[in-house]
A and B are shown apart, each in its own frame.
Chain A
């Protein structure tokens, strides 16, 4: 890649997957119109889902998925020891994602429901940051490839990337989406970090908080709003617990 004839050093990137749907690493291959320049801007040296080549010499480790089993703890520690920069890619890596809902269950009972009398090894769901030091968190279920591209661009420019501090509400206003609360629906938009372009409220689902809290969210005001709109404590808790990013809000 050459702009104005200038060469730069491509960062060596490893992509690693843990407990999850692996949809965030898949996003790296999406947004196809810029896929070729994206892949030319970085050097992928370890990405099991895409290549049989594998090197342990990488600058950046992108981590997809949460940590739920002992062997994953060992694996993430080894990756942390090798990587200069470790990035949590997506909601599962960032705060556990939907896997975190498992922590409210009796794991023996969950094993019985799914596997009958041949239970499998599992444990509490932890974010990557609960196990090793994380240098950057890119939230979202899935992550926005456009946002990943912006992070990579800032990396190349040597300029820190700042995630939007404002909540999803702002992006609904920008797209002229009628407020979910005015449509009688539940929405975590007022307290959730923007940057996704608010696709879920636009489809009438409301925001489910997959990107975690916005900067300095006003949780008290949010709770008083949803309670005044008649949502039950169970409904509020179900929504806040869904992606694992709002633990402790209620």
Chain B
């Protein structure tokens, strides 16, 4: 039994944004274990008021520097739902391709640049530039492929310009799409290399029974729109997101927290894999099986494996999508837009989990009220509740020193890949 612990991690590294871990154990009793988000709030919901629908997606993209495509798509979808508009089929395919590109770049960034150093005993990937430059080049190549797909389809990978209410500004030409298909097919071998690397990771054995929330797929692994589902059996239509997310304000956090059937719930790659496992591409399922990842997995550290599984899925599904776009008829990529006074909700799976935007529009298409429920906002309460369970397990087994406790607590937070500036939009 570990008797005394005093952890105070100020501004945890290798995550996006500012958060602190505090753990106090006195005479073998856990007195406190906190995850506090102290990121500066930005008040996007207040700024959005009065904005025209054409600028909503441009503005909300700026909520996040990593998943700006998900934010833009959630806004576009909310606006289209309000205006009763369905984008052309090719636009929906292109949006999904951009979404896959975003998940690829974001998962590669987290798994290989932010999480991997913990498993390799390094402070960052930077020392690998000297010792294993080929590993950095491989990781950069996978991340770069995701970013290049986003650049081509969304006009720019960070703060996209082509994803607009009504559809997508333009379809990339055939040569561009064919080149991406070749690159994606070639990258499958690199993903095998990544899988071999992840196989060497010592993933902590820790479980806490958790409710997982995500989109629910019908025929496809869901990333853009559809019903909302929880692993505890809650099922809601997209527009009833408020009954799913139940945000509330915590006095110690600038990020809000969420709850559903329990005190907190989790979103993200592990939630998606848990809730939609059967809809993954067979190759992605094969990788999951190699890591014994099967639903419902309650080990948050396995989110790193879920990221790898989703990278395989996104790569395979992008290859399929490009084939469909190439074979499809030449058609308009934008539908005409007529604003009307109504409410619309858009749910999109960002890399870090399900994201909701809701806008109330007036007849001219200006926002009267805006609400954004962000993945990391939903995860922060769950991280806060995982933390004492992890610390208790570690001090009771008595095998841990302070630096190991700090490392595991930090790895726990990182396994959610939190985006804190997003979470305090």
Contacts and interface: CB of A to CB of B under 8 A. Distances in A.
Nearest to B147: A30
A40 B126 CA distance: 9
Contact of A142 (B11, B158, B251): B158
B43 A52 contact: no
Contacts of A32: 140-141, 143-144, 147
12 contacts: A23-B66, A25-B65, A30-B147, A32-B143, A32-B147, A33-B144, A50-B14, A105-B43, A114-B45, A202-B155, A203-B162, A208-B58
Interface stretch (A14-22, A154-162, A211-219): A14-22
B126 A51 contact: yes
Contacts of B62: 21, 23, 97-98, 141
Nearest to A112: B46
A115 B250 CA distance: 9
Contacts of A62: none
Contacts of A116: 249
Contacts of B169: 203-204
A54 B10 CA distance: 13
A128 to B, nearest CB: 14
B254 to A, nearest CB: 5
A52 B51 contact: no
Contact of B124 (A50, A105, A205): A50
Nearest to A235: B52
Interface residues of A, number: 59
A54 B54 CA distance: 42
A44 interface: yes
Contacts of B63: 21
A48 B11 contact: yes
A149 interface: no
B88 interface: no
B26 interface: no
Interface in A129-188: 141-142
Classify the interface of chain B: helix, strand, loop or mixed: loop
A35 B158 CA distance: 17
A238 B51 contact: yes
B421 interface: yes
Interface of B: 11, 13-18, 40-43, 45-47, 49, 51-52, 54-55, 58-59, 62-66, 68, 109, 113-114, 117, 123-126, 129, 133, 136-137, 140-141, 143-144, 147, 155-159, 161-162, 164, 169-170, 249, 251, 254, 256, 421-422
User: Lowest 7 A-B CB distances belong to which pairs?
Assistant: A23-B65, A32-B144, A51-B124, A110-B46, A203-B161, A21-B65, A32-B140
Given A20-B42, A238-B52, 12 more contacts: A17-B17, A21-B64, A23-B158, A29-B143, A32-B147, A51-B13, A69-B40, A111-B43, A113-B46, A115-B41, A118-B249, A203-B155
A17 B13 CA distance: 12
Given A21-B422, A26-B65, A44-B126, A101 B136 contact: no
B143 to A, nearest CB: 6
Contacts of A101: 47
Given A32-B140, A105-B47, A141 B159 contact: yes
Interface string A29-69: 11111011001100010011111111000000000000011
B422 A52 contact: no
B249 A39 contact: no
Contacts of B18: 17
A238 B367 CA distance: 13
A29 B143 CA distance: 9
A69 to B, nearest CB: 5
B365 to A, nearest CB: 13
Contacts of B41: 114-115, 120, 122
A40 B16 contact: no
Nearest to A102: B43
A222 interface: no
A92 to B, nearest CB: 9
A171 to B, nearest CB: 14
B15 A49 contact: yes
Contacts of B162: 203
A199 B421 contact: no
A49 B51 contact: no
B65 A24 contact: yes
A115 B254 CA distance: 9
B161 A199 contact: yes
A110 B43 contact: yes
B123 A53 contact: yes
Given A114-B43, A120-B41, A199-B161, A26 B129 contact: no
A48 B109 CA distance: 15
B42 A26 contact: no
Which among B11, B15, B41 has the highest number of chain A CB atoms within 10 Å?
B41
Contacts of B64: 21, 23
